[in-house]
Structure 1
Amino acid sequence: MADNLTNTAENRALDFLMGNATTAPTTPLKVALVTAVGSDSAAGTEVTGGSYVRKNLTSPAAVNGATSNSADLVWTGMPACTVVGAEIWDSAGSPVRSVYVTLAASRTMLVGDEFKILAGGLTIAIS
């Protein structure tokens, strides 16, 4: 994934590397599904309805500048929608978005469908 960090995440990473900040995102990190992909500066359109909620993200320490989800992410009871991407948010009182991705192929969901991202299927890399 090339340059899918938000402006906020890029600034936080640089501040950390330059010794200007030591704060990490508020955990757990959450994965949100979107029906319209966001950008560096604007969030996408998050799925709403059905039993949809953001899912906790677990990931191992990065190796060679990359990491991925260490467990399957499963959403059940989805509303009717077309999922085109995902975003990663922290759990702060006012959540902060750090990553946005476009799926390789969008997926049209019917009411009650299940959406799954297999372990290792959501890779985050800095290159």
Structure 2
Amino acid sequence: MSNATNYLENHWIDHQFRSAPYAKPTAAWVALYTAAPSDPGGGTEVTGGGYARVNLPPLDTNWTATQGGVAGASSGTSGTTTNAVIVTFPVPSADWGTVTAVAIYDAPTGGNPLVWAPLTTPRDIKAGDPAPRFQPGTLAIAVA
């Protein structure tokens, strides 16, 4: 289950129920963490060793509709979207540590965190390991 950050919750509420406009981000940058963030932010993002966030733009071809698949507007009841394509990080050139969480940002560095979630199975990533990846359907964002 994913968690919306305070940043996203506040902007969504102000846009949906108040008078503030909110422009959807044009990019969705997937980040890895060795210490999970929380709704206000924080946590410890992986650094060094060739690490970089991966852009998975908010497009129908990259994210499933709530009923599954990438065709048409969401009409399902799950309140969940998942990655429709493989998300592949660079090959680590140094140890990244044990990755315990993932987050999505609106920028390749810095920026605003939108959602985050702990990994079901943390993974210790070492120099020279194969490029870490999320297979289609394994990176889920749920609105509950």
Question: Given residue 39 of structure 2, which amino acid in structure 1 is its aligned partner?
Answer: D
Instruction: Pick from 113, 116, 119 the counterpart of residue 97 of structure 1.
Output: 113
Q: Say which structure is richer in strand.
A: 1
Contact 1:50 1:112 survives alignment (8 Å): no
Question: Given residue 59 of structure 1, which amino acid in structure 2 is its aligned partner?
Answer: W
Shift of residue 25 of structure 1?
3.8
What does residue 126 of structure 1 align with?
Answer: 143
Q: Deviations over 1:83-119 (max 9, x none)?
A: 1111100028851101111000100111021211111
Contact 1:25 1:90 survives alignment (8 Å): no
What does residue 112 of structure 1 align with?
Answer: 128
Tell me, in whole angstroms, the C-alpha distance in 2 between the residues paired with 1:70 and 1:116: 13
What does residue 73 of structure 1 align with?
Answer: 87
> Where in structure 1 do 4 or more consecutive aligned residues deviate above 6 Å?
none
Change (3 A) 1:95 1:20: same
Contact 1:33 1:54 survives alignment (8 Å): yes
Contact 2:52 2:90 survives alignment (8 Å): no
Tell me, in whole angstroms, the C-alpha distance in 1 between the residues paired with 2:138 and 2:108: 25
What does residue 52 of structure 1 align with?
Answer: 51
Aligned length: 126
> Any unmatched runs of 5+ in structure 1?
none
Tell me, in whole angstroms, the C-alpha distance in 2 between the residues paired with 1:9 and 1:107: 27
Provide TM-score, normalisation by structure 2: 0.78
Question: Given residue 124 of structure 1, which amino acid in structure 2 is its aligned partner?
Answer: I
Largest Rg, 1 or 2: 2
Q: Deviations over 1:42-100 (max 9, x none)?
A: 22211111221100123244443221112111113223111111110002885110111
Change (3 A) 1:18 1:93: farther
Tell me, in whole angstroms, the C-alpha distance in 1 between the residues paired with 2:88 and 2:110: 24
> Any unmatched runs of 5+ in structure 2?
57-61, 67-73
RMSD after superposition: 2.0
